[in-house]
A and B are shown apart, each in its own frame.
Chain A
Amino acid sequence: MSDQPGPKGLTHATVMDWLTRFAATVRSVEPELTALDQKAGDGDFGGNLVTGMDGVRRALDALAAGAGNGERNQRGPDAPLDAAARVFLDDVGGTSGPLFGLLFQELADALGMAADPPGTAALALGTAAGAAAIQRVGEAEVGDKTMVDALVPAARALASCEPTADPAYALHVAAVAAHRGARSTTDLRARRGRASYTGDHARGVPDPGALAVALLFASAHTELTSLDRLPVS
């Protein structure tokens, strides 16, 4: 890990940038996500995610203009995640959209309740709580070829970091773990979600929901860590 001075906590600005970058990433890979979902599911995942993140972008603009949800500190690092949670829970259809909303909600809570500024411990707590909520709701286990296959490894990776570790480093570790998890779904047969009805059609295709989880952590990492500070893993 780098010994240079760097960001040790998550600020309002870094979380805003994280979600803005995720929105841009999702938009640029939407054709690929949709193509994957058409092979295995019902083809609406990429579109739902883009629609959701477009809504999040509008909510972030409103937050920047001071028109956010009054219940939270609008300048806190949790406020952008809370705004994203509301958009995904309230306005996104399908089932995987609102499941992302649960992850955002738990991340917002963990960051909001952490000591200032929230760091790796809060990220680990929020991601674990998000994974737990999504598993309670969707009843999926690792290996069922769902977003859980990326989220659970990410949560474990965060938990394995020192609580005081630089969050940039922790998010990098989480992104690598999530990406490996997403790739591991390629050869699986789906056991949950729409893809479970398509039998072996889903084999050979990674789960788009798991890939999206990997992209979420990758987006955060890219923002928080400049290339020359990338830890080697």
Chain B
Amino acid sequence: MPQYFRDSPESLVPDALAGFAAAHADLVAYHPDHGYFRTRHCAPTRRVGLVSGGGSGHEPLHSGFLGTGMLDASCPGRIFASPHNRQIFEASRAVARPDGVLHIVKNYTGDRINFSIAAERLAHEGIRCARVLIDDDIASDSDDIAVGRRGTGATLIIEKILGAAADEGRGLEDLVALGTDVTRRARSLAVASAAHNTPASGAPAFALPDNILEFGVGIHGERAEGTTPHAPLGKLVETMTDQLLAALPDTAGTRVLALVNGLGSITSLELYGIRHAVAKALDDRGVGLDRSLTGTFVSALDMRGFSLTLFATDAEALRLWDAPARTPAWPL
């Protein structure tokens, strides 16, 4: 059985937070009393503080994207668990700008409630606060799921674009409108050939037979509705691309940005192979590939799989995407 390298299941997250803070001490500061990170550098032009967060186990999201051009604060929860409203409240209060704070929230019940409670507390203190809710995962797009699509890979794209826009001094409503529009134009889908291993027990979160893929898996090891035989990569990527393009609004003649994201234990070698297959699938369908990013950005502990996010670009989004950023994990 695979084993995590850590002193104990309980020490995994706190030790990682301490190590991350020390490793990137020039860029971020950890506030242990309230459990949040904040950037040490940000554009003086910002009028809105950007706060994101969510469960641990998705590294480098979110703390890896603190810094110039991206987030002001991040709130790590326990593994796959929402941060406490106190973390979000204190982080927001610390980084609020004249126009308040914007919460970037992935669509999961716990995250929604805890960010909402923090928002109520901020309102109580007279601090303006708004939210962009990310719900890009088409595998959870079903009438049976009342809470709606989950938020996954698009989070990184939104954090980058909103970060650049915030640096331009845009106001709260403007950023909400932009973030909502980016979310509307981004869709993701994930597959896995093996589940992540639960840190407490070391046991896989679920079992898959040989040569079967979990098609539409979530980033917490939520099972998908279905499985699919392990097809050749090109065929698999074509299927995913078709589903994503069909889910994007106004796809005819669209140009896209592609995020090829590893879920934890897939190799860089494979990810670049997937990047190659995505480019070919898009080209075959007459869709232009404006930008791409390949690597592990939104992981699910050590899940063996990848997600593909397509974002229908426009000139403004590309300009904001290309703006400089300096964070522990932004690669460009």
Contact = CB atoms under 8 A, between A and B. Distances in A.
Whether chains A and B associate is yes
A95 B124 contact: no
Interface string A92-103: 010100110110
Contacts of B146: 191
B124 A137 contact: no
Where chain A touches its partner, the secondary structure class is helix
B124 A138 contact: no
A187 interface: no
B114 interface: yes
Contacts of A109: 124
A95 B114 contact: yes
A52 B267 CA distance: 46
A156 to B, nearest CB: 21
Interface in A76-103: 89-91, 93, 95, 98-99, 101-102
Interface stretch (B38-46, B49-57, B115-123, B306-314): B115-123
B103 interface: no
Interface residues of A, number: 16
A161 interface: no
A133 interface: yes
A89 B121 contact: yes
Contacts of A102: 117, 120
A124 to B, nearest CB: 19
A104 to B, nearest CB: 12
Contacts of B113: 95, 137-138
Given A95-B110, A105-B124, A89 B85 contact: yes
Given A95-B110, A95-B113, A95-B114, A136 B86 contact: no
B89 to A, nearest CB: 8
B47 interface: no
B53 to A, nearest CB: 16
A212 B116 CA distance: 22
A97 to B, nearest CB: 10
A138 B116 CA distance: 8
Interface of A: 89-91, 93, 95, 98-99, 101-102, 105, 109, 133, 136-138, 191
Given A105-B121, A191-B146, 5 more contacts: A95-B113, A102-B117, A136-B120, A137-B117, A138-B113
Give 3 nearest A-B pairs by CB, closest first: A137-B116, A90-B86, A95-B113
